[in-house]
Amino acid sequence: METLITYCSLEALAATLQLPQKFLRDLAHKGDIPSLNINGRFRFNPLQVQETLDRLAEQQCTQAATRDVING
């Protein structure tokens, strides 16, 4: 049996993740988070976006730690 993927609006995603709509919209425009653009409106799979944001946060932490070591 196939799993149905549910997509939501920017407004619903922002409420679910408790993040500003503008922040998420900017990431979607840049292609930094997975999204569909349907007739000029973004639609998101919240689970995919959460996974992507988790990876981005981890990368930023790693980069910050590397800078701290280099700048000692």
Q: pLDDT by residue (tens digit) across 26-60?
A: 999 999 999 999 999 999 999 999 999 999 999 88
Identify which of 37, 39, 38 has the alpha carbon closest to the alpha carbon of residue 28: 37
What are the sequence ranges of the domains in the chain?
A: 8-71
Per-residue confidence band for 64, with pLDDT thresholds at 50, 70 and 90: low
